[in-house]
Amino acid sequence: MSSANISFDTIPASIRKPGVYAEFNTRLAVRTLPANLQPMLIVGQRIAAGTQAAGAPVGIFTDRQAADLFGRGSILHLMCRAAIQANAYLQLTAIAVDDAGGGVAAAGTVTPSGPATASGVLSVNIGNQRVDIAYAAADSANTIAAALNAQIAKQPDLPVTAGVAGAIVTLTAKNKGTLGNEIKVSAAFTLGTGVGCVVVAMSTGATDPDITATLAAMFSAGHKIIATAINTQASLLVLRTHLDAVSSAIEKRGAMGFFGFTGTLANGTTLAGQINAGRITGALLPSTTSLSYELAAAYASIAAFEEDPARPLNTLQLAGIAVAPDREPPVAHRAGERA
């Protein structure tokens, strides 16, 4: 049996008086903040192409892994991608939910016009991703639309699928529910003449899945940060109930909920009042082309990585999230009209 000698600074080794003596030595004390490890959970929708069953949590380490597990371009895949881009050293777990049985996928259209009188490039922005196609002089509207449809099929990480009929390209959200209505679509041209494009915004998405059972399954997992894709009042109230339960005086496993909102300040303020939860925080970034659930994942990811519990989060960079424009773009007018 071996013993170790303990040296003291103020208690002499020769003391013979019985008793218990103690001293404080701060020379080897830690002078930095303690590690603030905050495991993060993401809750979002998958698509049928994913291999991971709904309701089964899994650790996520790469964008490719999330794409394989939840389906490329699904809400949960894009959330995991955003989280990893914002914080590559994140301790991340994801759990999928299926689309609601009565859910409806949002849809919109892109309709080019022609024929082109000079070659150029049509760029269609879908969320924070861009689809580029080249067209030649004399290409008809149908030819341009077919090329756009084919190019969208080659970019499986987009949150939409496409179909073409004549000159009309129809975009359909990969996941059903209201989040598809938030996918911003716009078109722009580089060089070229004779070609126009009419975009009909994504709409008619309805009925989001209920995340109550999904959160209940993660009750004892101990995640400190929970990011949810669905930013409706009903879904966030479910999250509030879960957070209050796991953070109660009995459970003592404090956790925070995160969501993203890309609508107006007025609507965001109204939503915050409806939630009225001290454990839920939302990131508001009006007019960004990034999707609200990508914003939620990036925001939560940065919060999970911040070691100073007192540091304000509103000064930290959300890598991978598109910067919102300073103002709304001007309205286009036809020749002869006054602005």
pLDDT tens profile 266-309: 999 999 999 988 889 999 999 899 999 999 999 999 988 877 76
Instruction: Give the span between the Cα atoms of 292 and 284, in whole angstroms.
Output: 9
Instruction: Indicate the number of domains in the chain.
Output: 2
Stronger pLDDT, 29 or 21, i.e. the higher one = 21
- Which domain, by its residues, includes 243? 40-98+209-315
Round the average pLDDT of the chain to a whole number and report it. 87
pLDDT greater than 50 at residue 1: no
Cross-strand pairs, 198: 111
- Whether 176 and 195 map to the same domain: the answer is yes
Residue (of 23, 93, 34) closest to 58 by Cα position: 93
- Whether 84 and 221 map to the same domain: the answer is yes
Q: Give the pLDDT confidence score for residue 34 in this predicted structure.
A: 52
Name the pLDDT band for 91 (thresholds 50, 70, 90): confident
Last-in-domain residue among 203, 232, 262: 203
Q: Give the pLDDT confidence score for residue 39 in this predicted structure.
A: 86
Residue (of 101, 111, 91) closest to 38 by Cα position: 91
- Whether 310 and 245 map to the same domain: the answer is yes
113-155: pLDDT as tens digits = 989 999 999 999 999 999 999 999 999 999 999 999 999 999 9
Instruction: Give the span between the Cα atoms of 146 and 163, in whole angstroms.
Output: 9
pLDDT greater than 50 at residue 336: no
Residue 324 lies in a domain: no
pLDDT greater than 70 at residue 199: yes
36-75: pLDDT as tens digits = 568 899 999 999 999 999 999 999 999 999 999 999 999 9
175 phi/psi in degrees, rounded to 5: -110, 145
- Whether 287 and 159 map to the same domain: the answer is no
- Whether 166 and 120 map to the same domain: the answer is yes
**Cα separation of the two ends of the chain:** 91
Stronger pLDDT, 5 or 210, i.e. the higher one = 210
